[in-house]
Structure 1
Amino acid sequence: MQFDGPRTLLAVHAHPGDESTTTGGMLAHYARLGARTVVVTATNGEFDDAPSGATPGEIGHHPKAVAAHRKLELQAACEALNVADLELLGYHDSGSTGEAPEGGFCTIPVETAAGRLAALIEHYRPQVVVTHYSSHRDHMHVIRVAKLAVYRTGIPAKLYLTAKDGSTTIDISEVADIKRKALQCHASQQVHGAFGVQEHYFRDLDTTNAPLPETDLFAGITNYGPDLPR
């Protein structure tokens, strides 16, 4: 499949921190190879822990202040991962349980959020889109939004979901230190512990007929323009 322009990968996540915990190695890997990496974060992370450790509903947890702090941590993590562009959709975190707040991301019509994401896809024209799979309601919603935006634009050749054991495996051993640095940027969430030197993805959409299994998200995509200088 032939494309113009540099290799571009767009990762769509629900919350600040998802970009590092689930796709940090992949983002660092492709940035190191010269691809343009774009991170789109749907929510502000209001229901994450406060820097003091206070959880939602506890004294000392102020959602607006938490969101502002999480934005700074997200920006620092993306800088550590050498992400070329960060886009914030600014929706309210829905939380994992209970009634979603007014304006919570999971309450936003799929068509509405997908329209905004489609505009970003039109702008960046990624060959590959990656999004984060889990049972959290904001994550499930971001998958629906990403799928609709990808199909609506018809621009990306491939769509991937994060997976524990998928069709595509990326070796991140050479960028493990970069991923670790990005995780440390989310200090308020106390993200720590060991992680594997591989990240796995499930290929949900493919127009290239690249054979599976694969070790490159850009497999089957050729004749792109110059990569970014690194």
Structure 2
Amino acid sequence: MQFAGPRTLLAVHAHPGDESTATGGLLALYARRGVRTVVVTCTNGEFDDALSGAVPGEVGHHPQAVAAHRKAELQAAADALGITDLELLGYHDSGHTGEVPGGGFCTIPVETAAGRLAALVEHYRPQVVVTHYSTHRDHIHVNRVAKLAVRRTGIPAKLYLTAADGSTTIDISEVADVKRKALQCHASQQVHGAFALREHYFRAADTTGAPLPETDVFAGVTHHGPDLPRW
């Protein structure tokens, strides 16, 4: 399938930090190959742990301060990964459990959030979109939002979901140091330790007919170029 260049990969995530833990290797690898990489982060991460280690509801946990710090960590991680464009939708984190705060992301109508994401898809015109598949309520919601935006615009050729094992395996060994640096940017979350040198994705939508299994999310996509400079 022919597309106007450059090749563009758009990742849709729920919280600051998800871009590094879930798709850090994928983003770093394709950024290094000259692909324009766009990250859309839907919430501000207010219900993440505070710098002091205080969790939501504890003394010392101030959601606005946490959100400001998490956004700074997100920007640092995006710089480390070589992200071309970072878009923040600014919704309130819904939290893992308990009562959802007013305006929490998972309470926002899918059509409303998908409309905002669809505008970004129309602006960046990605051939490939990747998003979450997990049981966290914000991740479930972002999955629905991304699917609707992809379907509504009809622009992306492929939609991928994060997976423990799937149709598509990406070897990230050459950018392992970059992913590790990005994870370290999220110091308030104490993200550390070893990670797999392969990231797995499930191809949820495809218009290219590229055979499975695959090792390249752009398999079947041809473009008129040019890509961005490699780094």
1:139 equivalent in structure 2: 139
Residue 208, structure 1, aligned to residue 198, structure 2: no
Q: Distance in 1 between matches of 2:127 and 2:5?
A: 9
Alpha-carbon distance, 1:29 to partner: 0.2
The superposition leaves residues 94-135 of structure 1 with CA deviations (integer Å, 9 ceiling, x where unpaired) of 001111110000000000000000000000000000001110
- 1:103-182 equivalences under 5 Å are 103-182=103-182
1:189 equivalent in structure 2: 189
Q: Which amino acid letter does the alignment assign opposite residue 199 of structure 1?
A: E
SS of aligned partner of 2:42: strand
Q: Distance in 2 between matches of 1:50 and 1:223?
A: 44
- 1:1-230 equivalences under 5 Å are 1-230=1-230
Alpha-carbon distance, 1:193 to partner: 1.0
The superposition leaves residues 163-183 of structure 1 with CA deviations (integer Å, 9 ceiling, x where unpaired) of 000000000000000000000
- Of all paired residues, the percent bearing the same amino acid is 84
Normalising by structure 1, we get a TM-score of 0.99
SS of aligned partner of 2:37: strand
Q: Distance in 1 between matches of 2:20 and 2:224?
A: 27
SS of aligned partner of 1:196: coil
Q: Distance in 1 between matches of 2:76 and 2:39?
A: 13
SS of aligned partner of 2:9: strand
Q: Which runs of 5+ in 1 are unaligned?
A: none
Q: Which runs of 5+ in 2 are unaligned?
A: none
The superposition leaves residues 10-51 of structure 1 with CA deviations (integer Å, 9 ceiling, x where unpaired) of 000000000000100000000000000000000000000001
SS of aligned partner of 1:51: coil
Q: Does the 8 A contact of 2:6 with 2:223 survive in 1?
A: no
SS of aligned partner of 1:213: coil
SS of aligned partner of 1:139: helix
Alpha-carbon distance, 1:225 to partner: 1.3
Q: Distance in 2 between matches of 1:108 and 1:78?
A: 26
SS of aligned partner of 2:2: coil
Q: Distance in 2 between matches of 1:157 and 1:79?
A: 27
Q: Which amino acid letter does the alignment assign opposite residue 82 of structure 2?
A: N
Q: Which amino acid letter does the alignment assign opposite residue 177 of structure 2?
A: D
Alpha-carbon distance, 1:224 to partner: 3.3
Q: Distance in 1 between matches of 2:71 and 2:13?
A: 13
Alpha-carbon distance, 1:223 to partner: 2.7
Q: Distance in 1 between matches of 2:204 and 2:52?
A: 39
Q: Distance in 1 between matches of 2:64 and 2:48?
A: 11
